[in-house]
Chain A
């Protein structure tokens, strides 16, 4: 499914970026550009980051994109 509609970025691309080491909204934005235009998808990006961190360190990030 498309998560970032500004740049047509899918949840698969976000999950791949998270699996590749992105742990914050900022690093996710650097790697995939997701969430860097209107910011409307940030809630969903945070959910996808939490999905990963719940299985690891358990610390969701609330860092804002630059």
Chain B
């Protein structure tokens, strides 16, 4: 089914972000394994997989609309040198995801593509949950101190 080029571009922008954050979560997870923080590593790995599934669904939607998924484009991947930095980077990425979802909803409405509007809107809850996860961890680090927080994160990686 031929989709609006504007909707396809909005989907591609979201795809670029998803592919970027997959890399970020994945390397952050492996760094946590290396540091011995298995609990965080498992959580970050699970989010990386969520984002990968999101990318899969976005690619499918772009193909359904007869567009070309842009697998070439990747945003700047930044890597946290500490666990706190990792969560700050994750939070920025998730805020950007929410912005892109809201602008995608606007584009889909303008282009009278209600199914794509629903597609964008359907992803809001998951991305909000990721924002909440990063905010909660940063809040814990602030209240407990980084060392106390990290002392609770040592476990075998899942």
Residues of A participating in the B interface, judged by any CB pair closer than 8 Å: 1-3, 5, 10-11, 40-44
Contact = CB atoms under 8 A, between A and B. Distances in A.
Contact of B77 (A5, A11, A42): A5
Interface residues on B, range: 10 to 19
B63 interface: no
Contacts of A43: 75-76
The 7 closest A-B pairs by CB, nearest first: A44-B76, A2-B79, A43-B76, A1-B85, A1-B80, A1-B78, A41-B76
Contacts of B75: 43
Contacts of B85: 1
Secondary structure at the A interface, as helix, strand, loop or mixed, is: mixed
B20 to A, nearest CB: 10
15 contacts: A1-B79, A1-B81, A1-B85, A2-B78, A2-B81, A3-B78, A5-B77, A5-B79, A40-B76, A40-B77, A41-B77, A41-B78, A43-B75, A44-B76, A44-B78
B76 A10 contact: no
Contact of A10 (B77, B81, B89): B81
B65 interface: no
A42 B76 contact: yes
B74 interface: yes
Nearest to B27: A5
B79 to A, nearest CB: 4
Contacts of A41: 76-78
Nearest to B75: A43
B74 A40 contact: yes
Nearest to B88: A1
